[in-house]
Amino acid sequence: MSHVKAGGSTRQHHQRPGKRLGLKKSGGQAVTTGQIILRQKGQVYKAGTGVGVGRDYTIFSMIKGIVTFTKMHGKTVVNVLSK
């Protein structure tokens, strides 16, 4: 006899595409105005100087410059430093 009851199969279980979250530009890379630096769920990374935050917590560049990541109060802060 079977030791574990059969699980069965699920019906109407459809795969959904991923949200494409994460870093789009890494530290030291050059960005122009309006370029997306990272997409995130909630505010995992904080916005620093030269960046803005969208409605969906997307961090984007507001100036032309170089992306840098620093730590402040236990959170990672994203900055864009002008050239």
Q: How many domains does the chain have?
A: 1
Residue 11 lies in a domain: no
**Phi, psi angles (nearest 5°) of residue 75:** -115, 150
Q: With contact defined as beta carbons under 8 Å apart, do 16 and 30 qualify?
A: no
- Residue-wise pLDDT for 16-75, tens only, equals 899 999 999 999 999 999 999 999 999 999 999 999 999 999 999 999 999 999 999 999
DSSP state of 56: T
pTM: 0.80
CATH code assigned at 68: 2.40.50.100
Residue 39 lies in a domain: yes
Residue 66 lies in a domain: yes
Instruction: Please report the pLDDT score of residue 14 as a whole number.
Output: 80
Domain span including residue 36: 23-82
Instruction: Please report the pLDDT score of residue 28 as a whole number.
Output: 96
Q: How far apart are CA 52 and CA 45, in angstroms?
A: 12
Beta strands in 1-83 (DSSP E): 22-23, 30-31, 36-39, 45-47, 51-53, 59-61, 65-72, 75-82
